[in-house]
A and B are shown apart, each in its own frame.
Chain A
Amino acid sequence: MKQCLICSGSINWQPSFHELISWRPLTPPVICQQCQQQFALITDHDLCRGCGRQRESLCPDCQTWQEQLGFVIHNRSLYSYNDAMKEYMHSYKFMGDYRLRQVFQRQFTALVKSISADVVIPIPVTQHTRLTRGFNQVTGLLEDCRLVTDVLLTSQQHKLVPQSHKKRTERLLAPQPFMLQQATKIKGKKVLLVDDVYTTGRTIYHAATLCRQAGCESVSSVALAS
């Protein structure tokens, strides 16, 4: 019996008849039913066409972006950022339990692949994080996706204060943390930005601004949670 990666309880799983005759590789779950139920999938259809959260055609936050930058990004998220997701992100990113990428990897990759794009750009981590954490949490969530390119880099070596420790107003004032390498690669392409959590949108909009300056055709984004 396998153990749940989140609560270490045992997982009761048997492949369904449909799965058996579908002749695809079997994919046993890595977390138990109870833990799975804690995460809230976003299933509504009448969502904001910007951030993809509130039930309005364009929420006040996205209206502000529209006024400030002259464009909004169409973002899609799989889950809402509830307590279970917060806890998950803590164990995955900050405790560094890399196994936890398997929890959403398939589902998230499927979502990314379902969106038509020419290049997929994961939001990068700083040099220091890469050396201490050992992985980029966003690329960890993407399972062999051909379109992934690492054109986006962080210009900072070291994050002085982690984004998650800042208040909303501080986050919105944060300066551009990224730079583009080989900007020609994305010229005239449809770009899909991928991040783990969409909170204020600041990070995604920084990256999107760079991509638009480099002359890409369109920018949209995907996040695991928002």
Chain B
Amino acid sequence: MDLSLLYGRRELVAKADLPEKIPAAVQLLPTIEVGTTRIRCLRCNATTPLKEARLPRGQSYCPQCLNLGRVSTLDQFYHVAEPNQFAPIAEPLTWSGTLSPLQVRVAAEVKDSMLSHEQRLLWAVTGAGKTEMIFPTIEQAIRRGERVCIASPRVDVCLELFPRLRAAFQSVPMVLLHGRQEEPYKYCQLTICTTHQLLRFYHAFDLLIVDEVDSFPYAANEQLLYATTQAKKTTGGLLMMTATPGEVLQRQIKAHRLAVSYLPLRYHGHLLPKIRCVQIDYRWQEKLKQGHSPRQVGVWIRQHLRAQKRFLLFVPHIENLADLRQCLQRELPQCSFTTVYANDEQRLAKVQRMRDHQYDFLVTTTILERGVTFPGIDVCVLGADEKIFSSSALVQIAGRVGRSSQCPDGNVTFFVKENARNVKAAYQQIKYLNRLGRRIQ
């Protein structure tokens, strides 16, 4: 048995397979707490009615975290307490870039608070350069021989982060973990993983950084919130990062229960673009099905085509994509565009073609809300008042605009049929950040 694989982890072992002799360092931990009517899974902390969790012969299992391997009363956990067994690294940070004066200030604030292992939120607008700002914090932790993890609810964010971190910390051993991965786990000082994978760790990290805390499925998911608290050591520091904190986090900030570092300006020092709302027909969804796109949208598109400005058009549902495509193809036969959705097989190819200026615009669902950057682009959202767009998703969408320093400004238009809370919240969030930004500009 390679003990290093168990450092700070909990591995399932069937009671039937337990060897006679277990090394002294290995602890055996229980898997499930059985109550009178419900059971509690000690891995994901979810409770399930006994009736649903039942196995024959009085045994039970947790149906909520099956994807990570079934936890049942027939199993136990192997666990070895995290020993922080790392070779000291003289010069961990090999990144040669520089931070802007504003970024330096925020980075120092974060670094100091992580020195004393606090909990902190880094609220930096989209395109502020969050990743680079945490490099000094990670460097400090690695110098102190601490175990560090960077987690994100999204696989694509992890996949994008990993090469950037490997380039920045060339001498630090690191491992990437996510559900669809073939490579086996190994014990490293720096771990990059999805938030689901955090459930496999137990009191392991001195510094845990969670990126995009507001995004699906992490936000409002008790299981994953629990995963973060138990994956870090009880004395460990927690740094959450987001451009658009949800209601829960904002309330915590207002009540001064959560320390926060703001970065309200983008790296090029400009403010976020302001949202413009345009009212459209109340029954636009039905009319779209009959083959009529909203008039105002057509006007907006023609304006942009005339000005030769490229843009993204967001729609609330996948069904809207086909209808809108037919409408636009009939109304504007001369322009080139395409539709993209989450399970589209050619998703990456289409996005690449948009980058190569082969399309005038893309029609898409919320999948392109984060992480996709096209320089000098405008954005409009058809039906922004639909429930599917959360206020943070809307702020993220608005954040697609003006990311490059050549064109730091742009047009964000929301086509709405009525006033809605999510649109208002997004509008106010941008206004608030711009007010903070103007103060330091």
Binding site for B on A (CB under 8 A): 91, 95-99, 128, 131-132, 134-136, 139-140
Contact = CB atoms under 8 A, between A and B. Distances in A.
Interface stretch (B48-56, B302-310, B336-344): B48-56
Given A128-B16, A134-B61, A99 B70 contact: no
B76 to A, nearest CB: 12
Interface in B51-90: 52, 54-57, 59, 61, 63, 66, 70, 72, 74
A128 B74 CA distance: 12
A97 B52 CA distance: 10
Q: Is the interface of B mostly helix, strand, loop or mixed?
A: mixed
Contact of A96 (B16, B52, B61): B61
30 contacts: A91-B66, A95-B70, A96-B61, A96-B66, A96-B70, A96-B72, A97-B63, A97-B66, A97-B70, A98-B54, A98-B55, A98-B61, A99-B52, A99-B63, A128-B16, A131-B14, A131-B15, A131-B16, A132-B16, A132-B17, A132-B74, A134-B55, A134-B57, A134-B59, A134-B61, A134-B72, A134-B74, A135-B55, A135-B56, A136-B56
Contacts of B72: 96, 134
B14 A132 contact: yes
A140 B57 CA distance: 12
A140 B17 CA distance: 24
Nearest to A129: B16
| Contact count band on B | 10 to 19
Nearest to A5: B63
Interface string B1-40: 0000000000000111100000000000000000000000
Nearest to B59: A134
Contacts of A136: 56
Nearest to B72: A134
A9 B373 CA distance: 32
Q: Which 9 A-B pairs have the closest CB atoms?
A: A131-B16, A134-B55, A132-B14, A96-B70, A135-B56, A134-B59, A134-B74, A98-B55, A95-B66
Contacts of A139: 56
A214 to B, nearest CB: 27
Contacts of B15: 131
Contacts of A131: 14-16, 74
A128 B17 CA distance: 9
A193 to B, nearest CB: 21
A108 B72 CA distance: 27
A140 B56 CA distance: 9
A128 B14 CA distance: 10
Nearest to B73: A134
Contacts of B63: 97, 99
Interface centre among A95, A98, A128, A139 (most CB of B within 10 A): A98
A112 B72 CA distance: 30
A40 B57 CA distance: 33
B16 A134 contact: no
Contacts of A140: 56
Contacts of B74: 131-132, 134
Contacts of B56: 134-136, 139-140
A94 to B, nearest CB: 10
Nearest to B51: A99
